[in-house]
Amino acid sequence: MSAPKRIIPGMLTKEEEQKIKASLPTGTLIDPLAEQKRKDEEAESELEANKPKAAKAAEGRKAANENIVFVGNINPSLVSETLQNYFKFCGNIVSCNIVISKQNKQELQKQKFSGIEDPSALTANFAFIEFSSPSEANMALEQLNGKTIENYEIQVKKAFKNIAATNSDEPKFSIFVGDLNVDVDDETLINFFKELDGFVTANVMWDMESGNNRGYGFATFNSQEAAQGAIDAKNGKELNGKAIVCNHAAKKEQKPRIAKRQPKRVFNDLPSFFDLVPQSPDEVFLNPPTRPFTKKSVDSFIARSITPVDNTSVFIGRIPDQLPRFVLDCYMNEFFGPIVKTEHFQGYCLATFAYKASAAKCIMALNKYDVAGLSNLAVYWKKEYVKKPYRKEEGVEDIGEESKEEQNTNVDDVNIQDLNI
């Protein structure tokens, strides 16, 4: 008896499979896994077909200026002059403005404060380049989009602005419109609000890199009463199948800048190391560090160090008399980080830094440093010596002060004649 015929669904249409199944004799096997896979694929295709199509900036907006292009995914180390050199063959460049992302600004401030440079922690920036004519901007778009510059594949696109932009000086009152669906563009938002009294304009906020909307926008009215009426009428209403949220658009108030609390320093009046000059021909200076400190090397050194986590103090020994102590303080403050306290002694000193990374850089740079052939500095972590408590041995009783005095008296009263020597 021959084996029953096996049919693999998916190779035929659904109607053809049903006809074949109806005509098959009893005992014919149908592959259940393939059948379930076909059903899942059909359900996924139907869900994808019903999913709203994301609106694009190019569809809902118009070019801000035919002479301006948007350049995305720029190497964070690039400066405006270097970027212009890559684009200048396209024509005359009027302006080039590199925009540093908020994340990079925070990271750069953090690195500046710690004194450790780490370029790998920075993300890509973007820029706007303005040419003299639209043909030059189009040439940049055609020739440089997708090209690799400084190990980064850049994106060159048209720059966009809102289609409802207005230059009127009349007072305007805006409301915030949130929870927008992905397929909402400027035109859709305008049509949603234009029936209301006092309506002026509406626009969706766009992501320049992806071209999609950011999920929110603004509607503008000519009076406070009209704006409030729009909130009452449209808040919670559905737009393209999703309920939106309408609120008053509060202007960002500039928060007062609060100065960060700096570590208390003893040498607040330290001049720059480079401003110092030898007071006598016998004095010597330390040369600035020739090798930059990277975050990876400093972290690795700290991980290998056998010292408490909170220890930021270092011992500097073998200091020659010809090296002024004030110069040494300025040197450490200039190249390693803020100093909290220094204690100088004959031939050595103890320096306490505000941060552990600063102390680590001091050890890495100055240990075995040759000071004008006079001596090699010895720099290492300051050790904390703790006096261990006395541990009484088992079976030995404490001797009181009176017993000690008796023992001393008895020993003093012993005559040499009484000893059998």
Mean pLDDT confidence for 139-164? 81
Residues 133, 125: Cα–Cα separation, whole Å: 25
Which pLDDT score, from 0 to 100, does residue 100 have?
Answer: 84
Q: Which two tokens stand for residue 215?
A: 């999920």
Counting residues of the chain whose pLDDT is more than 70, the rounded percentage is 67
Which pLDDT score, from 0 to 100, does residue 375 have?
Answer: 87
Residues 17, 8: Cα–Cα separation, whole Å: 9
Mean pLDDT confidence for 164-172? 55
pLDDT tens for each residue of 284-307: 778 888 777 888 889 999 999 888
Higher pLDDT, 114 or 120: 120
The answer to whether residue 323 scores a pLDDT higher than 70 is yes
pLDDT tens for each residue of 53-72: 555 555 555 445 688 888 88
Would you say how long the chain is, in residues? 421
Which pLDDT score, from 0 to 100, does residue 360 have?
Answer: 92
pLDDT tens for each residue of 218-254: 998 988 899 999 999 999 999 988 899 999 876 655 5
Which pLDDT score, from 0 to 100, does residue 333 have?
Answer: 85
246 forms bridges with which residues in the sheet? 177
The answer to whether residue 127 scores a pLDDT higher than 70 is yes
Phi, psi of 62 (to 5 degrees): -125, 165
Helix ranges restricted to H, 185-268: 186-193, 224-234
pLDDT tens for each residue of 253-272: 555 655 555 555 555 556 67
Residues 377, 363: Cα–Cα separation, whole Å: 10
Domain locations along the chain: 6-49, 57-161, 173-248, 273-381
Which pLDDT score, from 0 to 100, does residue 326 have?
Answer: 84
Mean pLDDT confidence for 32-54? 66
Which pLDDT score, from 0 to 100, does residue 414 have?
Answer: 40
Residue 170 · residue 244 · CB < 8 Å: no
Which range is least confidently modeled, 1-15, 181-195, 332-346? 1-15
Domain 173-248 has CATH 3.90.550.10: no
Strands (E), 212-327: 213-221, 238-239, 242-243, 245-248, 313-317
Which pLDDT score, from 0 to 100, does residue 387 have?
Answer: 45
The answer to whether residue 404 scores a pLDDT higher than 60 is no
Select from 69, 270, 89, 260 the least CA-distant residue to 156. Answer: 69
Q: Which two tokens stand for residue 319?
A: 């200091």
pLDDT confidence band for 419 (50 / 70 / 90): very low
Which pLDDT score, from 0 to 100, does residue 408 have?
Answer: 44
CATH number of 57-161: 3.30.70.330
Higher pLDDT, 413 or 84: 84
Helix (H, G, I), strand (E, B) or coil at 317: strand
Mean pLDDT confidence for 33-48? 69
DSSP category for residue 299 = H
Residue 371 · residue 331 · CB < 8 Å: no
Residues 273, 331: Cα–Cα separation, whole Å: 6
Tell me what the pLDDT averaged over the chain comes to.
76
Higher pLDDT, 204 or 394: 204
Q: Cα dihedral sign for 242, 248, 254, 258?
A: negative
The answer to whether residue 383 scores a pLDDT higher than 60 is yes
Q: Alpha carbon of 228 to those of 177, 234, 247: distances in Å?
A: 13, 10, 9
Residues 6 or more apart whose Cβ sits within 8 Å of residue 380? 314, 315, 363, 367
* Amino acid at residue number 156: V
The pTM score is: 0.38
Domain 273-381 has CATH 3.40.30.10: no
Which pLDDT score, from 0 to 100, does residue 385 have?
Answer: 47
Mean pLDDT confidence for 145-166? 75
Residues 76, 54: Cα–Cα separation, whole Å: 30
Domains 57-161 and 173-248 share a fold: yes
